[in-house]
C-alpha cells in the first residue's frame, strides 16, 4: 500500500469539512476525488499533502505514519502536489520554477538545471525555459505546476483541479500529459470537477458530499449510484432523471 488515510476528520470550529474519510491508494492507481462544491474534497486533499493538520485520523505513506510531517518532509518522501490556483514563482523564469522542484534531489545548481530541462522537455515546455514565468497564461501555469512537481521525482502526485480553466483542446492535452505521467509509474490522486477527465482517467473514484464519503468504486459505478446523483442534482431531480444515463446528466461523454 502506497498511501493510506484512516478516519480523517478536519473541523474548522464546530464545522466538520471532512468527517471520518478513509482511502487507500495502491501503486499504479489513479484515484479521482469528486463531489459538488464545498463537499470537502479539497480539504481532504490538503490533509494528505500536509497543508492542513488533521483534527483526527492518520495518514500513512508506505506504511509510515506521516500525519505530523510538514509538507516539505512529505515531499522528501515522494509526495508531490499542484495547486488549484497556480502558485507560480513570479519572479523567476520557467526553468528556475522547475529547478526549485529539482533541487529536492539535486544539491548543485548545474545538476538541478539539467534535471529541470529534462522535465521541461518531457512536458513540452522546453522552448519556454528562459521566459519569465509571470508571462505565462493559465494553461502554461497549470502545466508548469505539474512540471515543478514532477521535478521532485515523486511516487505519488496529487493534482488539485489541474484542468480547471482550460478549454476543451487544452483539457485533452492535459489528459495526455497525465496519462504519460501515469505510464511512467507515478501514482495519481486527482481532484476534478470536469467529469470527462474523471471518466477517462480515474481507475477508482471516491465521492464526497457534505464532508462525508458517499460512494466509491469505478467511475461507471459511482455515476450510476443514486446517492451520487442526488448529491449533485438534488433528490427530486434524481428521481426525475431516473432512466437517463447519469453520466450524461453530469456533462460527461454520451
Partner 1 sequence: MRRLLWLSVLAAVAIAYPLLLSSPFQQRLGALVLLYAIAASAWNIVGGYAGQVSVGHVVFFGCGAYAAMGAYAKFELSPLFGIPGGIVIAVVLAAVIGVPTLRLSGHYFSMATIAVAETMRLIVTNTDYLGAAVGLSGPTVARNIFDLSFISSLPYYYLFLLVLAITLVITWWMANSRMGFYLRAIKDSERAARSLGAPARRTKLYAFMLSAALTSVAGALYAMMFGFVDPESGLGILISVKILIMAALGGAGLLFGPLVGAAILVPLEEISNSVLGGKGAGLTFVVYGAIIVLIARFQPGGILSLFKRRSKPASEAGAPHAP
Rounded to a whole number of angstroms, the minimum distance from the CB of residue 20 to partner 1 is 26
- In the complex with partner 1, the residue whose CB is nearer, 27 or 135, is 135
CA 54/CA 161 separation, integer angstroms: 21
Q: Which grid coordinates belong to 110?
A: 548545474
Rounded to a whole number of angstroms, the minimum distance from the CB of residue 96 to partner 1 is 7
Provide the binding-site residues for partner 1, judged by CB under 8 A: 49, 51, 70-72, 75-76, 80-81, 83, 87-94, 96, 99-101, 103-104, 107-109, 112, 124-125, 127-128, 130-132, 135-137, 139-140, 143, 148-149, 151-152, 169-170, 173
Rounded to a whole number of angstroms, the minimum distance from the CB of residue 131 to partner 1 is 4
- In the complex with partner 1, the residue whose CB is nearer, 62 or 170, is 170
Rounded to a whole number of angstroms, the minimum distance from the CB of residue 157 to partner 1 is 11
- In the complex with partner 1, the residue whose CB is nearer, 72 or 183, is 72
Rounded to a whole number of angstroms, the minimum distance from the CB of residue 222 to partner 1 is 28
- As a three-state string, the secondary structure of the chain is CCEEEEEEEEEECCEEEEEEEEEEECCCCEEEEECCCCCCHHHHHHHHHCCCCCCEEEEEECCEECCCCCHHHHHHHCEEECCCCCCCCCCCEHHHHHHHHHHHHCCCHHHHHHHHHHHHHHCCCHHHCCCEHHHCCHHHHHHHHHHHHHHCCCCEEEEECCCCCCCHHHHHHHHHHHHHHHHCCCEEEEECCCHHHHHHHCCEEEEEECCEEEEEECHHHHHHCHHHHHHHHCHHHHHHHECECHHHHCCCCC
- In the complex with partner 1, the residue whose CB is nearer, 140 or 219, is 140
- In the complex with partner 1, the residue whose CB is nearer, 62 or 96, is 96
Rounded to a whole number of angstroms, the minimum distance from the CB of residue 148 to partner 1 is 6
- In the complex with partner 1, the residue whose CB is nearer, 73 or 235, is 73
Amino acid at each position: 500500500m502506497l498511501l493510506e488515510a484512516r478516519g480523517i476528520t478536519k473541523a474548522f470550529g464546530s464545522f466538520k469539512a471532512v468527517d471520518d474519510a478513509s482511502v487507500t491508494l495502491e501503486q499504479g492507481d489513479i484515484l479521482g476525488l469528486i463531489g459538488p462544491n464545498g463537499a470537502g474534497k479539497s480539504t481532504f486533499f490538503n490533509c494528505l499533502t500536509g497543508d492542513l493538520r488533521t483534527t483526527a485520523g492518520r495518514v500513512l505513506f508506505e506504511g509510515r505514519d506521516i500525519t505530523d510531517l510538514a509538507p516539505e518532509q512529505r515531499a522528501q518522501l515522494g509526495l508531490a502536489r499542484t495547486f488549484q490556483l497556480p502558485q507560480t514563482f513570479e519572479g523567476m523564469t520557467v526553468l528556475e520554477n522547475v529547478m526549485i522542484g529539482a533541487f529536492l534531489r539535486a544539491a548543485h545548481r548545474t545538476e538541478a538545471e539539467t534535471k529541470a530541462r529534462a522535465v521541461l522537455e518531457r512536458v513540452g515546455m522546453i522552448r519556454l525555459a528562459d521566459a519569465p514565468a509571470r508571462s505565462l497564461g493559465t494553461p502554461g501555469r497549470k502545466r508548469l505546476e505539474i512540471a515543478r512537481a514532477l521535478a521532485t521525482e515523486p511516487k505519488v502526485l496529487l493534482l488539485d483541479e489541474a484542468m480547471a480553466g482550460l478549454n476543451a483542446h487544452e483539457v485533452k492535452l492535459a489528459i495526455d500529459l497525465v496519462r504519460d505521467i501515469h505510464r511512467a509509474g507515478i501514482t495519481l490522486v486527482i481532484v476534478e470537477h470536469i467529469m470527462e477527465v474523471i471518466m477517462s482517467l480515474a481507475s477508482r473514484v471516491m465521492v464526497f458530499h457534505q464532508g462525508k464519503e458517499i460512494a466509491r468504486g469505478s467511475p461507471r459505478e459511482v455515476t450510476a449510484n443514486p446517492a451520487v446523483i442526488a448529491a449533485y442534482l438534488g433528490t427530486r431531480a434524481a428521481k426525475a432523471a431516473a432512466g437517463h444515463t447519469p453520466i450524461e446528466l453530469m456533462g460527461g461523454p454520451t
